[in-house]
């Protein structure tokens, strides 16, 4: 998990979220719509972003689930 004082932006673009998770942007949208990935924040009429802490928490939960299995 990223430290709170690392100066990373609070939001990440769909491209950055895709890179962090190794899923495509389309897949992330489908997963968010299905409720299995954090929903993006609408920034403008045609612009969205994901909350970095939520994406990182989702990744951490996937790692934890692997360890528990």
Per-position b or e across 7-21, b if 16+ CB within 10 A of its CB: eeeebbbbebbbebb
Read off the pTM: 0.85
**∠ CA 11-54-62, rounded to 5°:** 135
pLDDT value of position 3: 55
Residue-wise pLDDT tens digits, 1-50:
555 567 889 999 999 999 999 999 999 999 999 999 999 999 999 999 99
pLDDT surpassing 70 at residue 68: yes
pLDDT value of position 4: 57
């Amino acid at each position: 998990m990223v430290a709170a004082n690392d100066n990373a932006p609070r939001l990440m673009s769909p491209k950055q979220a895709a890179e962090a998770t190794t899923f495509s942007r389309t897949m992330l949208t489908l997963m968010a719509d299905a409720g299995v990935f954090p929903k993006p924040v609408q920034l403008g009429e045609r612009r969205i972003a994901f909350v970095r802490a939520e994406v990182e928490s989702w990744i951490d939960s996937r790692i934890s689930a692997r360890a528990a299995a």
